[in-house]
Structure 1
């Protein structure tokens, strides 16, 4: 990461804004009479009607276009470009002007979910569906001999973002549902990918035999990315993990892992288990602590550290991203986020549950709504994040007090249908260099602007590269 302004000048600006933010925070702190109250109560918006709190507004939208008509998925950012995953490939957006983003390039390369990360001149794409081959000219395959079916990681050269070039594939067991970029240790000319995948079928599948209680680790030499290869497949759950229950998923792998490389930590959302790892040795992650929630969590989906690395927010994908879970019948504690403090030191660190957070608005029973991907907003001294909730929209919430999280802003569209259960909405909503970018599953890209005295200082922080599951200390940006 590098600064985009001289450090001395940046620090003076931050000091001035910090003083303003402190005063404003005292006037509008969560829980005070001036705190933002969600607009609309439990009133369901009309079909496609946009509603929001006064402090969060849409400033741009781009529809899907060209051959990438599949489901939109995750984001990665670098410089003026945003890379948006899609089941049919990935978009390259020019976001130099957030109020007028444009499509700079499209790469047709089918293979769900096309989870995406970037590092330097490299882009990594995760494929979690069996394909006829490892190129971008492929089709879904269930007829090929199992060993001939391909799924895993594709590597692209994005030295020219307008013309990405396919370099290399790495086949991984059970494919790559998600993949997390892990910087090498200081001085190491390599990056790693922690590849998460799982088997929900309950039976052996081609290329995904049970028990699949492991992750795949791919090492990518930066001087020779074509030599990328699987270097380890550590078993995360030698005891088999959570065996499953009527309300919770059996653990047969991990869904997603977030790393905080500076602190040698990772947090794994692993179906029926939440995991805290020591990643001092990048190729040999070591479990420090695991937790379960057999009452309210159905499927541990993703994780976010706070900036000091003392908390983890885990999300629960109740309903697997295909159910209406933001309604009175489900309630506030299921299909929610769970906030854990990291207590203790060294090998004795543990994840200690503190509270749940769920958007404080009911959706229609026809709206697929679920806790999904989000990121921190860089506000020194506070823990604030933005998060996607499918058709529940985009929520900005404060968990500085782990026991009393509170929403401070929201934006959403109304249902896609009032008659039929329908999926859609925001898959990933991330803060990048002063704005929120939401990748809408069915409609395209939304750019949102947050204007709130509690978060205004965040606009002064800039980074050159952003992968949400590869967390940095934003105070060093």
Structure 2
């Protein structure tokens, strides 16, 4: 695994490789006139599909992490390691089977962390699905040694209350450790699991788990709770399960901030002491109603640390919430990080009649601090938007830089990494796109990337 982030390790892509002459910009009148094919694919002229790595079996593909030239692609039966040094000709290094949804992944210093939020018969990779009431069942985070990416080794399985729907890496090199923020919430009744409601938590989970992983002895990892602020809004999910919990968390270690997408609201925390976060403020929006299966799902920061973004997974990832591009369902909301002031919002400016909402996203790390965001939108594909233009008052159609909506696709995660866009598609597998547009000019090359973990300010 790479060493901890060094500013000197960041390399600026040559401008000639960033902008292809003659390609569309956001002002090109043809940008939002999609191309099409027999498969129903639509895309802007400036986005090209370079390669697809088909999924290896009928398993839901989930989140992504990157280290050097390797992409780590989670799925409900484990994870794949894919060599993307030649983005047009990616190669699978290993297809590692280790049962347990949803297999959110983070990588750091030769270790991989895999989230498991479906009760398993035990913590090993040959486990089978069981109920939450099964004695000895496991749900939580598995740790692997991936120093040899072709041969991952299972190191430990760390139980966490309510399992791990997602996990967020918080590097702490000063103490030779990594902290893992574990987000989880009720996905079903206690018989199905994960079982998250505990009397000692006020009857509604009301916490995240923090795993402390010593880098020289990861099997000795320990777990402690972080209890959410008492004012955290209760969520009534699907009209059945009332609780307080977080779905996902992003951290920005240089500025000591975390953005927590906590179902009914977004929260910003001070993580100067990363083992003991401190609540700063909340963002609540009446358009995000958990009783309607709308929920604060994801978060990220602009690389200059000025803007925080919270995404609403309206419909819970199972409903058509892009049928009206002008309504407030399924949007990403952009706030001034310092003040919490709402600055703008965005969702794709095209009507999509199938499962669609904004899902997982990150900002392009531009040297000039420009704020351009890449996001997945389930069957709405992958979209790229100039957030500075949105904040300046531009419409979604005018601010959208490019998009790719493959026929039959269902993009779970779409992220910018080192000159390309990587989308892990639930059904298609890994798609790799090239964006040819000035919006990418000045993008930085990173030694590694966990999309929910930002370490150094870029501006």
Q: TM-score range by the shorter chain?
A: 0.7 to 0.9
Q: Does 1:279 pair with 2:277?
A: no
Which ranges of structure 2 fall in alignment gaps of 5 or more residues?
198-202
Give the TM-score taking structure 1 as reference length. Answer: 0.85
The whole-number CA distance in structure 2 between the counterparts of 1:34 and 1:47 is: 25
**1:196 match:** 183
Instruction: Give, in whole Å, the separation in 2 of the partners of 1:198 and 1:214.
Output: 9
- Conserved? CA contact 1:248–1:294, under 8 Å: no
Q: How does 1:65-464 map to 2 (within 5 A)?
A: 65=56, 68-142=57-131, 145-184=133-172, 187-201=174-188, 207-209=195-197, 210-230=203-223, 232-239=224-231, 241-244=233-236, 251-296=243-288, 298-328=294-324, 331-343=326-338, 350-363=339-352, 365=353, 367-379=354-366, 380-401=368-389, 402=391, 404=393, 406-414=399-407, 416=408, 425-458=410-443, 461-464=444-447
Q: Aligned partners of 1:474 and 1:35: how far apart in 2? A: 34
* C-alpha separation in 1, matches of 2:92 and 2:184: 30
Q: Is the 8 A contact 2:335 2:341 kept in 1?
A: yes
Aligned to 2:39: 48
Encode CA deviations 1:8-53: one digit per residue, 9 max, x unaligned.
Answer: xx67x87x779x98xx9xx9985xx54773124xx9x677322211
Calculate the aligned-residue CA RMSD, in Å. Answer: 3.0
Structure with the higher fraction of residues in strand conformation: 2
Query: CA distance change for structure 1 residues 203 and 294 in 2, over 3 Å: closer, same or farther?
Result: farther
State whether residues 204 and 242 of structure 2, in contact with CA within 8 Å, keep that contact through their aligned partners in structure 1: no
Structure-2 residue corresponding to 1:473: 456
Aligned to 1:419: none
Structure 1 counterpart of 2:200: none
Shift of 1:454: 2.5
Q: Distance in 2 between matches of 1:166 and 1:48?
A: 40
Shift of 1:213: 0.8
Is contact 1:249–1:272 with CA below 8 Å preserved after alignment? Answer: no
The offset of 1:252, in angstroms, is 2.2
Change (3 A) 1:57 1:173: same
Q: Normalising to structure 2: TM-score of the pair?
A: 0.88
Question: For residues 333 and 7 of structure 2, what CA distance do their matches in structure 1 show?
Answer: 35
Q: Which runs of 5+ in 1 are unaligned?
A: 344-349, 417-423
Whole-Å separation in 2 of the counterparts to 1:243 and 1:178:
18
- Structure 1 position 408, deviation (Å): 0.7
The superposition leaves residues 290-314 of structure 1 with CA deviations (integer Å, 9 ceiling, x where unpaired) of 1211234520000011112121111
Q: Summarize deviations over 1:128-177 as a string: whole Å, max 9, x none.
A: 101110100111102x7455221000000011000000000100000000
For residues 48 and 252 of structure 1, what CA distance do their matches in structure 2 show?
Answer: 42
Q: 1:249–1:271: 8 Å Cα contact kept in structure 2? A: no
Aligned to 1:64: 55
Contact 2:76 2:103 in 1 (8 A): yes
Across the two proteins, how many residue pairs are aligned to each other?
438
Decide whether the 8 Å contact of 2:253 with 2:456 is kept in 1: no
In 2, Cα distance between equivalents of 1:278 and 1:333:
29
Distance (Å, rounded) in 2 between the aligned partners of 1:323 and 1:160: 40
